Amino acid sequence: MTLHVTLPDGSPLELDDGATVRDAAAAIGPRLAKAAIAGRVTAAATPGVTRLVDLGAPLKEADGVAIVTLKGDDPDAVDLLRHSASHIMAQAVLRLFPGTRYAIGPTIENGFYYDFQFSAPVTETDLARIEKEMAGIVSQDLPVERLEVPADEALAVFGAGEPGTGVSGLPLGLDQQFKVELIADLVAAAEAEGSEAPTISVYAQGDFVDLCRGPHLPSTNRLGNGTFKLTSLAGAYWRGDEKNAMLTRVYGTAFATKEELAAHLEALELARQRDHRRIGRDLDLFSFHDEGPGFPFFHAKGMRIWNAIIDYWRAEHVAAGYEEIRTPQILRRELWELSGHWENYKDNMYFTQIDEQPFAVKPMNCPGGLLVYKSRRRSYRDLPLRLAELGQVHRHEMSGVLHGLFRVRYFTQDDAHIYCTPDQLEEEVRGVVRFMHHIYAAFGFSDVRIELSTRPEKSIGSDEMWARAEGTLSRVLDAEKGPDGSPLAYMLNPGDGAFYGPKIDFHIRDVMGRTWQCGTIQVDFAMPERLDITYTGADNEEHRPVMIHRALLGSIERFMGILLEHYGGNLPTWLAAEQVLVIPIADRHAAYGHEVLGALHQAGIRADIDERSESMGRRIRDGQLQKVPYLLVVGDKEQETREVAVRERGEQKGSALLADAVTQIAAEIAERRLPA
């Protein structure tokens, strides 16, 4: 008997009954068979659903089949490669550290990790040993086999029972409690749905067995030596819950070729050199302390950068028709219940009591802003009403995910809420989209990726509200042009909206190619109804306004960290903590140095003077290490001619009259010029 499948170009392929994806690749040609690592299969019964499967997966009549290889830029192939690398790493760990319990090992952006419970401490120095053992497993070229077994057998395989061999040939009694818990959850979910106990997929390679959905490389040798690297260790709670066991997370990465890995490691080294935590320490910008874990302490120089960002933010918002407000940090629990935050967000909130009444520290600014709106009657003539707030919010984050300024427990949102009539909604959203691009360009971010996220599973509001809000955002994005005049490209992200409305997210790309989600626009019909806000229309009747939640930079703290890494600490002059450093060559030049300093201060330039007894070369070097954009050196000649010797970002520019130098630097700051 034969079966017939269809290839991606629409051509038919005839195979023997019972053929697999591997057989299909071989029938197409020996070169493809050698390069194949998996397949994409679209069943005739479900034409819109394509599954990524192992080479050994059986095919059925009228299936659509595409062969996956590591050649080209296929994200599925790279993801599969990294997932297999995580299993090989886990196998290596078990060989080197017998008795280790292994939890989960997913892929992540640019790599993978696996969580382990070691019986003895493991340090960064052990990574090289694990890598070496991984190389041995790769060289062994162990076949990777998928088995589907009943749940009771899977529990016996990973449970703490007597060692032996199961019906499927798998070893029993591996004593892996985390796997047992995962299997038990699958069984419980099936029982809750009234279904039979599920079949469990297990992967085996040599002496290693893992619970996994797959798919995987057909053999360990397909990973290739020299194409993977273990990068770091971190602590992580089992299932992200601090009440559970603390595990050791081993991070790694893998690529199809050695060249791709080398390029990635070079980028990682660049990122390490540009790490904002390191720059913040070296430039004396901010610090973290055990007395406030996850709460950044900004130093004087850090506040200069902070204020430069905020001053620009305020000026631009005034020009765009916003009014600034400020709302309290702590508000009654009833408000958070009414807004929906209690039901949807309480696990991330902090609580307190005042006069024996329950209060919550705000994780978002929206409910407070709504109270400002409700504080007086509003007319249609007041709308659109654009209220901006630099609101400090607190969110409970697990200690394992805290990361410098990127993940903290308090931060300042550059928030705004726009209240408008339904007829004004599209124009207001369009205005915010354009405002986003304008603000990002000022900071040097011109590559912006946009996502439209729709209704999540957990949400508030009616179907009609959601359909109307999603339709508005889609129409704006479809009609809008980018800064270069071309149609605005965006991606659809189904089910990832906020619980109260769909959203447009803006991702900026830094100099290292990384993307950061910063800005967001969220259309909300639900919260105005829940908090009962209205406006009086031209018909003298009460109407419900639409609420737009909007942030541009997102978190000021996080955005500062992004800026520091994007520029490697060499911020544009208008943002730099110290814009000019005056260096008198000798003590006799100190008086003129202070005169130069005074002229700079009078022009509003952030400047300091280095009068230390160190050599001029040392002071120049220190100024450059502190990332000061301009060094003005003064000696006998400069003092006599009323000039300064200018060094701009390490490059000697020659001499200029003091007045001219001050004017030019002040103009650069006022125009917010970006480095060439």
What is the CATH code of the structural domain delimited by 580-670?
3.40.50.800
Record: fold of 2-69: Ubiquitin-like (UB roll) (3.10.20)
> Crossing angle of helices 177-192/151-158, nearest 10°?
160
Record: fold of 286-566: BirA Bifunctional Protein; domain 2 (3.30.930)
> From the centroid of its chain, how far is CA 459?
23
CB atoms within 10 A of CB 428: 23
CB 527 within 8 A of CB 371: no
The full set of domain ranges for the chain reads 2-69, 76-271, 286-566, 580-670
* Residue positions annotated with a catalytic role: 366, 395, 413, 415, 417, 503, 549
CB 5 within 8 A of CB 43: no
DSSP letter for each residue of 484-503: TSSBPP-EEETT-SBTTB-E
Q: What is the pLDDT of residues 180-230, one digit of tens each?
A: 999 999 999 888 888 888 899 999 999 999 999 999 999 999 999 999 999
Q: What are phi and psi of 310, to 5 degrees?
A: -65, -40
The pLDDT score that the predictor gives to residue 595 is 97
Q: How far apart are CA 92 and CA 114, in angstroms?
A: 12
Q: What is the pTM of this model?
A: 0.77
> What CATH number does domain 76-271 carry, 3.20.20.70, 3.40.50.300, 3.30.980.10, 1.10.3470.10?
3.30.980.10
CB 124 within 8 A of CB 146: no
CB 13 within 8 A of CB 27: yes
> Crossing angle of helices 300-319/425-442, nearest 10°?
140
Question: Both tokens of residue 325?
Answer: 């407000």
The pLDDT score that the predictor gives to residue 482 is 79
- Show the low-confidence residues of the chain (pLDDT under 70): none
Q: How far apart are CA 409 and CA 407, in angstroms?
A: 7
Q: Which residue has the tokens 């007894």?
A: 613
